[in-house]
Amino acid sequence: MNTFFDTLIIAPVAIFLLAAAVILILRLLRPGFGFTWLIAVSSTLVAWGVVLFLRLRLPLSMVLIPWKPESIFPFSPALSLDQVSWPYAFALISLALGVLLTATARYQYQTNAFAWAGSMLLTAVGLLAVLAANPLSLILTWTAIDLVELLILLVNSQEIRLRGQVVVAFAARLMGTLVVMAALIAGQANGQVVQLSTAPEGVGLILLIGVGLRLGVFPLHLPFRKEPPMRRGLGTVLRLVPVTASLVVLARLPAGIVPAAWAPWLLAFTALGAFYGALLWIRSEDEISGRPYWVIAFSSLAITCVVRGEPLGSLAWGIALILAGGNLFLFSARSRRLLFIPVLGLWGLGALPYSPAASGLHGLVSGPFAGFNIFYLGALALLLVGYARHALKPGDSLESMERWIYLIYPLGLVFLTGTQVVLGVFGWKGSVSAGVPWASTAVSIFALASGLLMVRLTAWPDMESTWWQPFLGSILDFGAAVLRLDWVYRLFRLAYRAIGRLVAGLIAILEGDGGVIWALVLLALLATFLRSEGVP
């Protein structure tokens, strides 16, 4: 029986959906209505307050629709708010609020009500995925996210090449969902009711691979090699919400799901993904073009925590991916007075003792320095250097904007940084941690040395004209050709086109002059087949 507080779980989702509908209706009926932004911000603030209040009532759960019979549907769609889902839900709503507040500095890019409504709609579906209480709910919400993302991207991507990338990204995530479904079927065939937190070793490993496939880590692939031409606000939500919906699963998996024989291979994948993503992140032209590499690097760090038996450690890297990354991706208008914001972002990422990401180090390094540790720590250091490099690049001039923008825009950035600090203190059990002091010291030294070397070699942060840039670029491009597995996706595209030509040919035959004759032939073949099977 759901209590009043249990039913409040659905309130933030309902608020976002209602606000998105109201904004769209007003935009269509009254295009000149001037309060749509205020409606979006106030609705998001209310949802933010509800989730913050529910932190005092954890855990909460709510069954949406009871599905019967239980022999066929052991699960019913349900939501759960606990110490795993609450940090991600709070981070998603804070990201949506940051997008809306910083949108005031992007009016020259025609930021409009459709973009705000799309951000709120995707955030609502993302919240459902984060709050999913069982694998069935997760699969349903993943599918909803993929469909909403596909629709928004297809509408906003006019080039055929970009539409192809959109379809490939959708197919890759769909494959991850199918792998998770296979894990559930395998568990049910063995008489097991699979829950994320109690998944047995074999089934849990399949779940981890499915999540890794959706995140682009197992196998390593980047369907969006170039970002579609989206706005910073809506584009940031589109990139981070589907990732969050997958990251939340990592923190729910049990500690011992990876067999000892599989662990080295999975660690090799995650080490490669983290270091490769960090190198391409630091090499990217700007933070928007480097956004896919930011996602792949931090996703690799989060999966590493699960492989090494520290699933809660993935929360630290997931929150850093969303909030610190979102802060930089929304940092479009820049001023010297706002440099303290990326400095706080660097502190939140650096995993120094008692910083927001410090607890995540336990999942990256185990015991003394050995094995793949050098790749994880090196990747984290490169991510820090790339963060500083992109943050110091010039952007839009904030001083030339109106005074009210000068007040509200920085508030959105400070809000995201403050949320990361709050989650680092009150987010989950063990979030306040000294981390691994020797590891955080090594990361800091390597990041400082790398930054000084870059300053010495070139006019940092502009690295495009350096002598070593083409050499590094050729190596990374060769590695990308191998690791992206483009040939796999080309096979899928060729098969898709071949099936399309076959169907088109059959339609042309059946619709031609001899269509009736072919229909009779097919009917005769069908009758012969049924007679051979003994059907009267």
**Same-domain status, 425 and 449:** yes
Q: Is the pLDDT higher at 395 or at 518?
A: 395
- Residues 441 and 499 grouped into a single domain: no
User: Are residue 318 and residue 271 in the same domain, yes or no?
Assistant: yes
Worst-scoring range by mean pLDDT, 38-42, 162-166, 480-484?
Answer: 480-484
Burial 411-420 (b: 16+ CB within 10 A, else e): ebbbbbbebb
Poorest-confidence range of 10-24, 46-60, 298-312, 492-506? Answer: 492-506
The mean pLDDT value for 371-385 works out to 86
- Tell me the average pLDDT across 262-287: 86
* DSSP assignment letter at 68: S
pLDDT for 18: 94
Enumerate helices (H) and strands (E) in the chain, giving the number of each: 20, 4
Instruction: Burial-class residue 300 by CB neighbours within 10 Å (0-12, 13-18, 19+).
Output: buried
Confidence of residue 522 (pLDDT cuts 50, 70, 90): low
Are 106 and 93 a contacting pair, CB within 8 Å?
A: no
As given in the structure block, the two tokens for residue 325 are: 């990354």
How many percent of the chain have pLDDT more than 90? 15
| Window from 100-114, 212-226, 249-263, 302-316 with minimum mean pLDDT | 212-226
Q: Tell which residue, 287, 278, 286, has the closest CA to residue 317.
A: 278
Q: Is the pLDDT of residue 307 over 60?
A: yes
Taking CB atoms within 8 Å and a gap of at least 24, the contacts of 433-436 are 433/353, 433/354, 433/358, 433/359, 433/362, 434/353, 434/354, 434/358, 435/351, 435/352, 435/353, 435/354, 435/355, 435/357, 435/358, 435/359, 435/360, 435/361, 435/362, 436/351, 436/361, 436/362, 436/365
pLDDT of residue 473: 57
pLDDT tens sequence across 141-150: 999 998 888 8
472 and 499 within one domain: no
CA dist., res. 112 & res. 123, Å (int): 17
Q: What is the mean pLDDT of residues 358-371?
A: 74
Q: Write the CB contacts of 35 (distance below 8 Å, at least 6 apart in sequence).
A: none
pLDDT for residue 392: 84
Q: Residue 336 — pLDDT band, cuts 50, 70, 90?
A: confident
Q: Are residues 28 and 72 in the same domain?
A: yes
Torsion of CA 237, 8, 128, 331, to 10 degrees: 10
Q: What is the pLDDT of residue 474?
A: 58
Helices (H), 399-436: 403-426
pLDDT 10s digits, 180-193: 888 877 777 666 66
* Residue predicted with more confidence, 451 or 8: 8
Of the two residues 103 and 484, the one the predictor is more confident about is 103
- pLDDT for 454: 65
Instruction: Give backbone dihedrals phi and psi of 397, rounded to 5 degrees, phi first.
Output: -80, 115
Compute the average pLDDT of residues 260-275: 86
Query: What is the model's pTM?
Result: 0.84
Which one, of 4, 3, 15, lies nearest residue 48 by Cα?
A: 15
Band of pLDDT at residue 443, cut at 50, 70 and 90: confident
Give the residue with greater pLDDT, 88 vs 257.
88
Question: What pLDDT is stored for residue 221 in this prediction?
Answer: 63
Q: Are residues 54 and 177 in the same domain?
A: yes
Q: Are residues 431 and 504 in the same domain?
A: no
The answer to which of 23-27, 230-234, 505-509 has the lowest mean pLDDT is 505-509
Q: Are 81 and 399 in contact (CB under 8 A)?
A: no
Residues 492 and 414 both lie in one domain: no
Distance of CA 48 to the CA centre of its chain: 20
- Boundary residue ending a domain (484, 499, 522): 484
Query: Which pLDDT score is estimated for 108?
Result: 57
- Structure tokens, 247: 């990251």
- The predicted pLDDT at position 535 comes to 47
Which pLDDT does position 235 carry in this prediction?
83
Q: The domain containing residue 207 runs over which residues?
A: 4-484
Per-residue pLDDT, 244 = 92
Quick one: 30 and 133 in the same domain? Answer: yes
Dihedral sign from CA coordinates of 309, 310, 315, 317: negative
Pick the more confident residue, 497 or 355: 355
Q: Which residues pair with 334 in a beta bridge?
A: 397
Per the CB < 8 A criterion, the answer to whether 253 and 302 are in contact is no
Angle at 32 between CA 28 and CA 35, to 5 degrees: 95
pLDDT value of position 191: 63
The Cα 381–Cα 367 span in angstroms is 20
Per the rule left: phi > 0, alpha: psi between -120 and 50, beta: everything else, 45 is alpha
* Whether residue 519 sits in one domain with residue 449: no
94 close to 132: Cβ distance less than 8 angstroms: no
* Structure confidence at residue 90 as a pLDDT band (50, 70, 90): very high
User: Average pLDDT for residues 308-327, to the nearest whole number?
Assistant: 90
Q: Is the pLDDT of residue 520 over 50?
A: yes
Overall number of domains in the chain: 2
| Mean of pLDDT over the chain | 79
| Domain identity same for 386 and 450 | yes
Q: Does pLDDT of 101 surpass 50?
A: yes
277/215 Cα distance (integer angstroms): 12
Provide the pLDDT for residue 241.
92
Answer yes or no: do 155 and 190 share one domain. Answer: yes
Residue 169, CB-side half-sphere exposure with 13 Å CA sphere: 27
Mean pLDDT across the stretch 8-32?
87
Pairing of strands 78-81, 60-63: antiparallel
